Amino acid sequence: MATSFIELFRSISYHISSSSLSINTLIVLSADHGAAEVPAYLSTLGMKTELVAPKTWDKKPSMLVLKKEFGFDSELIKSYFHPSFYLDRDLNALRELSLAQVQKAVAVEVAKFDGVALAVTSTDIESGNTPQNYLHTLVVNNHSKNRSGDIYIVLEAHRFVADMEGLTVAATHGSPWGYDTYVPLIFAGFGIDDEVVYDRVSTTDIAVTLSAILGIKAHSGSQGKVLKKVLDD
């Protein structure tokens, strides 16, 4: 895929550079996410990979203990929509339980499961009660108060979920690991010289950089930084 992307870019750049558009046209190519190789293929290379099934975790012994503790006679985890668990909030309210307490108890147990790197509750995210590190920052940035689940699950690298709402998939994306977050970010045309830059950047930097090139104020919702290397050229 990366090779096809580069060839596409070179083809576009060639047609732009061979015309008068090279001075007045700026091309930006990137992607919204990366993706891991298919687990079966990684296994042939000697890499440890494993499929996990979060939808079955509600029946694990430790979860059965929690159900008994909280008085749940049905599923404690109502559903799993990658990468989050959704608890049965109606039953939680009926039992007059603290949502934060139930979330935390489930998160603590889930974090012990094989293949889980991190389990973060929505209550901790929304209250700002998360460690200030790179991994937690990515989790917080991916949270939506109106849509996200109760517990955000980060699987260890090269652990994959194959069951996506009944659809069996060969590979997926959405993790914070390098194979999912690394994407190309290419600027061409507009008199920009050839150069490969190895600085850590983000796709959120594109909008504010374009605003700087155009000499206009960045959008109020912009969170990136201006890529000065692009402007310097």
Domains of the chain and CATH, by start = 50-178 (3.30.1360.150), 191-233 (no CATH)
228 pLDDT more than 60? yes
Predicted local confidence at residue 20, as pLDDT: 58
Residue bearing the bigger pLDDT, 35 or 102: 102
The pLDDT confidence band at residue 24, using thresholds 50, 70 and 90, is confident
Supply the pLDDT for residue 233.
60
Check residue 144 and give its pLDDT. 93
Question: Residue 137 — left, alpha, or beta (φ > 0 → left; ψ -120 to 50 → alpha)?
Answer: alpha
| pLDDT score of 225 more than 70 | yes
**Residue for token pair 């969170």:** 223
Q: What is the pTM of this model?
A: 0.81
State the average pLDDT for the chain: 86
Mean pLDDT of 75-102: 90
| 106: nearest Cα among 64, 138, 135 | 64
Burial-class residue 105 by CB neighbours within 10 Å (0-12, 13-18, 19+): buried
Instruction: Answer whether residue 27 shows pLDDT above 90.
Output: no
Helix (H) or strand (E) run with residue 115 in it: none
pLDDT of residue 100: 95
